[in-house]
Structure 1
Amino acid sequence: MKRWLLFTCAAAISSSALAQDTIPDAARIQGIVNYLASDKLKGRGTAEKGGEKASRYVAKQFKKLGLQAVNGGSYFQDFTFDRKEHKNIPSRNVIGYLDNGAARTIIIGAHYDHLGTAALFDGKYPVGQIHNGADDNASGMAGLLELARHYIKNSYKEPFNFLFIAFGGEEMGLQGSKYYTAHPLMPLKDMHFMLNMDMIGRYNPERGIGIGGHGSAEEWPAIFKDVQQPGIKYFTDAAGKGASDHHNFYISGVPVMFFHTGGHDDYHKPTDDAPKLQAASEAGIVQLEIQLINRSMAYPALHYVGPKD
């Protein structure tokens, strides 16, 4: 009897610990942002050492979580692009896969790059100053890693696969998503939808969080119906197009959701630093995303609605 009780208690503790680990965690979110937005990474600029270091960090986290590398055994998808007088600028996407043996796949995306020391921006931003980009977009990367942790550590098998993509070169014109949609590692027609997080770390309770792409699939209104998350207010926008990486998936025929807490005085300035992150609210936003993702999986497929213009 004692042995049975010990086994039962141990199993309950183990189950409780696993459940706790899958819940978006504010302290863990803050820790990820603290690193990605530290002066050590010098703003994660494209074609700068800090940006490359950030990509390696993301790949390391993917491997640690147990995501598969699907690009010829590499987590990296390297590419180059041109911007104005700058030619053959190097960047890379970081890609990890959760294979549930399903026919369709959900894409979770966020860009990891920021302005760096602004060398490639032709004087638009103060050159030489570190732009740490805590909200833009270390916050989105923390959200991506929390979602990866949640879905890979669940004890049940979801009816969809998950593809996690950390995009490079977003600040240079959505270059990472542009490259991926032109060179997808899996057919875009087999994608259930793409969820994008860009600046989700400065929640304003008066505004709430905006969720774009509400009009990009016929099923979104039903999926959103009656969804609530304590402490998080949200509103929807029908547009699938926009100034972040979901845009390239939408114009390629993939339904999208885009999460964004709105602009602020630190946007694209050296003052966008980690201590200003609202990690507890971000954890609530990620939990809201989990609700919507889970509800979307009740549908075998979403029906894409294209732009009206």
Structure 2
Amino acid sequence: MCIKKYFLTALCSVIAYGASAQSDITEKEIAAHISFLASKKMAGRFPGTRENKKTVGYLIKNFRKAGIKPFGISYTQEFSAKIRVKKGVTDTPVVKTQNVIGFIEGNDPVLKHEYIVLGAHYDHLGMGGPSSKKPDTVGIHLGADDNASGTAALLEIAEKLQANSKDLKRSILFIAFGAEEQGLLGSRYFVENPVVPLSSIKLMMNMDMVGRMNSEKHLYMGGAATFDGGMELMKGLGPQIGINPLVIAYDVGGSDHVSFFKKNISVLGFHTGGHPQYHTPEDDFAHINVPGEKLVCDYIYKAIVSVANREGAISFIPEKK
């Protein structure tokens, strides 16, 4: 290839995938992501809607801006979602929606064939419905904490990892799951139709409701004992960041990481706790603790780098009952 042609090819690559990944996670960008995703114009990000498509477009745009490539030729993995209805309703709609997948390839010639998955669901309840805590209320369920917060964290952590990608030995998949609120449908579809062999996924880390850190700076996580050294690692990172992690051995909870755990994949499920606004129209940006979410992002970033660069094997450890 001549030098001129090589230069043009490289330039096209930069334009296509961006070259502006920031080397740090910022409160400003966390707030901007949540404000957009949980705005009234996004109408609760319900699967199959125009607002769902806008959310997918927003995710892809930010992956590209950060220089994060798709896995393969497309960022999207399409699937059909059966929508939950009230008890007694027999007409159950099925809609098309998507998972959004970004990818950073590791640098170790052997370990790059192993993957860490960082995930968060981007959908919410739209105007309410049977999963609302106010099921008879028709109003936009904004979903700022659930789960615009996790989606914002996914974008920010991914951007910093891309900026420092030369330091990663294992590869990273970033997955924004669709239709979680309809029964973990996006993650269930992914583990039945994985883009890489499931055996090559060594850890799945999931963020669902990470925007309401309390004054004690608690961060809850389930599944730390599902991989060797997990309990010690997650406890040890707390003082470095300035938070108090509540590290739970198993009790993996009820979000998208459960789909991976059922396939014997090690998991960590992160959240900052429940609150009265959960699954109501009142789950809005005004309740978000942005500085607290930055601490969450910094903590998870360090955890990913540590696991991605571990020399030894990462082994799944089932719960002993």
> What band does the TM-score fall into relative to the shorter chain?
0.7 to 0.9
Distance 1:81 1:308 in 2: 34
Q: Is this contact kept in 1: 2:38–2:144, CA < 8 A?
A: yes
Find the counterpart in structure 1 of residue 270 from structure 2: 259
Is residue 2:317 matched to residue 1:305? yes
Find the counterpart in structure 2 of residue 134 from structure 1: 144
- Over residues 200-248 of structure 1, what are the superposed CA-to-partner deviations in whole Å (9 max), with x where a residue is unaligned? 0000133711011112112213423532244421111112532100000
**RMSD of aligned alpha carbons:** 2.2
Distance 1:110 1:207 in 2: 21
- Over residues 64-86 of structure 1, what are the superposed CA-to-partner deviations in whole Å (9 max), with x where a residue is unaligned? 21122225x11111101334641
Q: Is this contact kept in 1: 2:134–2:280, CA < 8 A?
A: no
In structure 1, runs of 5+ residues without a counterpart are 1-17
Is residue 2:283 matched to residue 1:272? yes
Find the counterpart in structure 1 of residue 3 from structure 2: none
Matches within 5 A, 1:190-269: 190-206=200-216, 208-227=218-237, 228-239=239-250, 241-269=252-280
Distance 2:148 2:95 in 1: 22
Q: Is this contact kept in 2: 1:214–1:240, CA < 8 A?
A: no
Find the counterpart in structure 1 of residue 117 from structure 2: 107
- Over residues 59-115 of structure 1, what are the superposed CA-to-partner deviations in whole Å (9 max), with x where a residue is unaligned? 1111221122225x1111110133464143322101111122512111010000000
Distance 1:96 1:242 in 2: 25
Sort the Cα spacing of 1:105 and 1:29 in 2 relative to 1 into closer, same or farther, 3 A. Answer: same
Percent of residue pairs bearing the same amino acid type: 35
- Over residues 240-275 of structure 1, what are the superposed CA-to-partner deviations in whole Å (9 max), with x where a residue is unaligned? 532100000111121111110000011001011112
Distance 2:69 2:304 in 1: 21
Amino acid at match of 1:187: P
Displacement of 1:122 after TM fit?
9.2
SS in 2 for 1:21: coil
Q: Is this contact kept in 2: 1:45–1:116, CA < 8 A?
A: yes
TM value normalised by structure 2: 0.84
SS in 1 for 2:173: strand
Is residue 2:114 matched to residue 1:98? no
Find the counterpart in structure 2 of residue 170 from structure 1: 180
Find the counterpart in structure 2 of residue 56 from structure 1: 57
Distance 2:152 2:136 in 1: 26
Matches within 5 A, 1:27-176: 27-71=28-72, 73-82=73-82, 83=84, 85=90, 86-101=92-107, 102-119=112-129, 125-126=135-136, 128-154=138-164, 156-176=166-186
Q: Is this contact kept in 2: 1:240–1:256, CA < 8 A?
A: no
Distance 1:112 1:97 in 2: 18
Q: Is this contact kept in 2: 1:240–1:246, CA < 8 A?
A: no
Amino acid at match of 2:104: L
What is the number of residues matched between the two proteins? 290
- Over residues 132-189 of structure 1, what are the superposed CA-to-partner deviations in whole Å (9 max), with x where a residue is unaligned? 0000000001110111111101163310111000000000110000000000001111
Sort the Cα spacing of 1:236 and 1:122 in 2 relative to 1 into closer, same or farther, 3 A. Answer: closer
Is residue 2:194 matched to residue 1:184? yes
Find the counterpart in structure 1 of residue 304 from structure 2: 293
Q: Is this contact kept in 1: 2:217–2:243, CA < 8 A?
A: no
Find the counterpart in structure 2 of residue 281 from structure 1: 292
TM value normalised by structure 1: 0.87
- Over residues 37-68 of structure 1, what are the superposed CA-to-partner deviations in whole Å (9 max), with x where a residue is unaligned? 00110010112221221111111111221122
Amino acid at match of 2:189: Y
Distance 2:193 2:204 in 1: 16
Sort the Cα spacing of 1:95 and 1:120 in 2 relative to 1 into closer, same or farther, 3 A. Answer: farther
Displacement of 1:300 after TM fit?
3.6
Distance 1:192 1:305 in 2: 11
Displacement of 1:295 after TM fit?
2.1
Distance 1:126 1:31 in 2: 31
Displacement of 1:23 after TM fit?
2.1
Distance 1:301 1:134 in 2: 37
Q: Is this contact kept in 1: 2:187–2:256, CA < 8 A?
A: yes
Displacement of 1:120 after TM fit?
6.8
